[in-house]
Structure 1
Amino acid sequence: MEKETGRIEGFSDAVFAIAITLLVLDLHVPEKNSIRNGSDFLIFLKNQWPVFLAFILSFFSIFIMWVNHHKIFKQIYSRNSGITFANGLILFLVSAVSYPTSLLAQYFDGEASSVVVAIYTGIFVLINLSYNLLWYLASKNKELLRPGITDQAIRNIHNNYLYGLPIYLIALLFSFWIPAISLILILGLWIFWAVSSGKIEMHLKTVKKDLV
């Protein structure tokens, strides 16, 4: 079966690359006349910690989204309008991550922290929903998937994305109460998807060998 998603994957890679590059625009060097010595520079860096935090969080979030996007399209061999538009929704939301990142960088250490963390977490809730939608539309017609993929593998991938949704919703609730907890939960989801997606890929390779 010939893979028909090459153009979708190529275009998606470009959007992910641009989205992750835009994050660096929030990193600024100090004005030359504002720094007189090394102590001034260290104070400037210390005051910039929300900017670095927002950059690191968003960079690795987008990176892990790209890794999972790549892995999900290793299982999708054919496309239809639903898959194309669901993928477009993912790219739209990924390209918008830079805006809440800028809000987080500027306002996280102020009185508006709960609101900006809620906006930041909210966009990841939407991204998670869009990934679930993409896999649902692809997996409901097994003819669109990689030949030989098992029903168990389909369920594993579905559960992998579905499990993240309640965690993001909990993080969204915590953003109005303890914003820092929300960011810790997002960090925890990096680890979850990094580990779980690796386990799923190993399982798929094992099943594929057994079928040969």
Structure 2
Amino acid sequence: MAFSDAIFAIIITLLVLDLRVPDVPPGRILSGLLNQWPSYVAYLASYSYVAVVWLNHKAAFNRIQQVDRGLHWMNLFVLFSTALLPFPTSVVSHALQEHNNTDQRVAIAFYAAIGALLCVTWLAFYHYLARNPDLLKDQAKDDFFAVERVRAIAGVALYILAGIVGYLVAPLIGLVIFVLLPIFYAITSAGLYQLRVTRRITHRRPPPP
């Protein structure tokens, strides 16, 4: 876990390096900062995504009692795809500031491809744990990771949708989806399974006297 946390810290640090002092004449610093709004949006989307990946990573490993070689590889695949995020973030930020529609469409599609790849690695991670319940703590063996695969599949589908819409229709629509997706994963960071259990307990709770 310490190794994974260090990787997440490095990734978040790399994201902020794309935020630079604008190269403008004296007296134009305000307009220069305002014109860099795509950098801020791209940073917000990617920072939120990395933060949510970290929360999901914590939630997953809190349910794991031992790690084998296969799980180490699954974890490395998740870290590999997460570590790619600063690159498409920089590409999107640059393309939006250059105001070239073709480049913007390609940049959004590229970011969507990396986002979908990250969700695929999570799908593999969850699938591996669902198939190896002996690695899990007792309270996590009742279909938690089998259900979590739904979240990963939803992420793949939504990132592909964002890439298609951003490329064929309007890049900013894809960018909005990129910002909204981490919100979904933040709300469900404890897992869809946990939401189901909480809802079931709430429904069974007797009414107050």
Flag whether TM exceeds 0.5 (same fold).
yes
Contact 1:128–1:164 under 8 Å retained in 2:
yes
Report the Cα distance in structure 2 between the residues aligned to 1:166 and 1:49, rounded to whole angstroms. 28
1:189 aligns with 2:181: yes
Report the Cα distance in structure 2 between the residues aligned to 1:81 and 1:150, rounded to whole angstroms. 20
- My pick for the range that moved more, 101-110 or 123-132, is 101-110
Q: Spell out, residue by residue over 1:74-114, the C-alpha distance to the aligned partner (whole angstroms, 9 max, x if none).
A: 11222222211111111111112111111111112323000
1:140 aligns with 2:128: no
Contact 2:12–2:50 under 8 Å retained in 1:
yes
Residue type of the partner of 1:122? A
Unaligned residue ranges in structure 2 (runs of 5+) = 201-209
Contact 1:104–1:113 under 8 Å retained in 2:
yes
Give the drift of 1:162: 2.5
Q: What SS does the aligned partner of 1:163 have?
A: helix
Question: What are the residue-to-residue correspondences of 1:122-133 with 2, within 5 Å?
Answer: 122-133=113-124
1:56 to 23, 44, 47: 44
Give the TM-score, by structure 1 length.
0.83
Give the drift of 1:59: 0.8
- Number of the residue aligned with 1:98: 86
Contact 1:103–1:116 under 8 Å retained in 2:
yes
Give the TM-score, by structure 2 length.
0.84
Residue type of the partner of 2:54? W
Report the Cα distance in structure 2 between the residues aligned to 1:183 and 1:98, rounded to whole angstroms. 15
Contact 1:64–1:193 under 8 Å retained in 2:
yes
The count of residues paired between Structure 1 and Structure 2 equals: 195
- Number of the residue aligned with 1:80: 68
Report the Cα distance in structure 2 between the residues aligned to 1:91 and 1:113, rounded to whole angstroms. 27
Q: Cα RMSD between the aligned structures?
A: 2.1
